[in-house]
Amino acid sequence: MSAALAGRRLLVSAGPTFEDIDPVRYLGNRSSGKMGFAIASVAAERGAEVTLVAGPVHLATPAGVHRIDVRSAAQMFDAVMGALPCDAYIGAAAVADFTPRAFAGSKLKKVAGTDTLTLELVKTRDILAEVAAHALRPALVVGFAAETDDVATYARGKLERKRVDLVCANRVGVGATGFESDDNALLVLGPGGFERALGPAAKTELAARLLELVAERLA
Ligand code: PMT
């Protein structure tokens, strides 16, 4: 196994976040964590010192990886910021964009005579954008973009808006790639019109190919 990332510190986020509504309900998403765990695993095999910030997933910790488990977007934010500095941050987590304004201490009840329930949501902090703007900004900041349509256009928008070095776009909501599956297809975008299509392939294979791009940029 090549040691292309020997001595490099990589920080990877993976999985969903769960935003609690009350003691029994939460807002979540379909991320299984497989994509981020594959990146952490392959990076450790290639000699990197890897910290993996994981949302609630059912996956074993890859060999040699330091894992920090979190539940909410706010906890993921704190864990990622607390793990800086590093050489590269790879944000593969599906972080909630919104969280309930208030946590209800007891289970929400149906109200007689009302057929609707209104939940007020507030924006979460954008971990990726804040890592990219941080005083301890890693040399390389890599984001993901989960899109249902117009993948390249929206992903290039994220690259520019969030001021990151690479964005890995993947289509979600169609076919057997993206969320939950063992396979995926990535369109990696970078500044100056850089574009590289990876896959469809197993997430471990895509992780290996993405980490080649990362290693080249850290060299
Ligand atoms: O976990 P799997 O089942 O293997 O599925 C993999 C995946 C589809 C979840 C993964 O490949 C992926 O696309 N992850 C990013 C999903 C996502 O939240 O995309 P986004 O377009 O909403 O966010 C763009 C980027 O901003 C992401 O790097 C995300 O981590 C980051 N972000 C978003 C919101 C927020 N509050 N903080 C963030 O850091």
CATH of the domain at 69: 3.40.50.10300
Residue 107 lies in a domain: no
Establish whether residue 100 lines the binding site of ligand 1, counting it when its CB lies within 6 angstroms of any ligand atom. no
Residue 126 lies in a domain: yes
Residue 77 lies in a domain: yes
**Residue 1, pLDDT above cutoff 60:** no
pLDDT, average across residues 49-77: 98
User: Which tens digit of pLDDT belongs to each residue from 189-206?
Assistant: 999 999 999 999 999 999
184 is catalytic: no
Q: What percent of the chain has pLDDT over 70?
A: 99
Measure the CA–CA gap between 66 and 34, rounded to whole angstroms.
16
What is the overall mean pLDDT for the chain? 95
- Per-residue pLDDT, 177: 74
Structural domain boundaries, residue 59: 9-98+120-218
Residue 131 lies in a domain: yes
Residue 84 lies in a domain: yes
Establish whether residue 208 lines the binding site of ligand 1, counting it when its CB lies within 6 angstroms of any ligand atom. no
How open is the CA angle 186-133-85, to the nearest 5 degrees?
85
Q: Which member of 5, 8, 9, 29 is catalytic?
A: 29
- Reported pTM: 0.97
Residue 160 lies in a domain: yes
pLDDT classification of 178: cutoffs 50, 70, 90 = confident
Establish whether residue 156 lines the binding site of ligand 1, counting it when its CB lies within 6 angstroms of any ligand atom. no
How many structural domains is the chain composed of? 1
φ/ψ (deg, to 5) at 13: -110, 150
SS3 track for the chain: CCCCCCCCEEEEEECECCEEEECCEEECCCCCCHHHHHHHHHHHHCCCEEEEEECCCCCCCCCCEEEEECCCHHHHHHHHHHHCCCCEEEECCECCCEEECCCCCCCCCCCCCCCCCCCCEEECCCHHHHHHCCCCCCCEEEEEEEECCCHHHHHHHHHHHCCCCEEEEEECCCCCCCCCCCEEEEEEEEHHHEEEEEEEEEHHHHHHHHHHHHHHHHC
Residue 37 lies in a domain: yes
Q: Which two tokens stand for residue 85?
A: 């500095």
**Residue 123, pLDDT above cutoff 90:** yes
Residue 49 lies in a domain: yes
pLDDT classification of 84: cutoffs 50, 70, 90 = very high
CB 103 within 8 A of CB 20: yes
Considering only CA atoms, which of 140, 127, 130 is closest in space to residue 5? Answer: 140
pLDDT, average across residues 45-64: 98
